[in-house]
Amino acid sequence: MSNTMSRLLELATKGYYCSQVLLALGLENRGQTNPELVRSMAGLAHGAGFGEGTCGALTGGSCLLAYYAGKGSDEERENENFMVMRSQLADWFCESVGEQYGGIDCETIVGDGDDRQLRCGQIVGSVYVKVMGLLEEYSIDPKGDIRE
Which residues fall within 8 angstroms of residue 60, CB to CB, at 6 or more apart?
Answer: 18, 19, 20, 21, 22, 23, 41, 44, 124, 127
CB atoms near residue 110 (< 10 Å) = 19
pTM above 0.85, yes or no: yes
Condensed to tens digits (0 to 9), the pLDDT of residues 36-70 reads: 999 999 999 988 877 788 999 999 999 999 999 99
Backbone Cα Rg of the chain = 15
Q: Which residues of the chain have pLDDT under 70?
A: 1, 112-114, 146-148
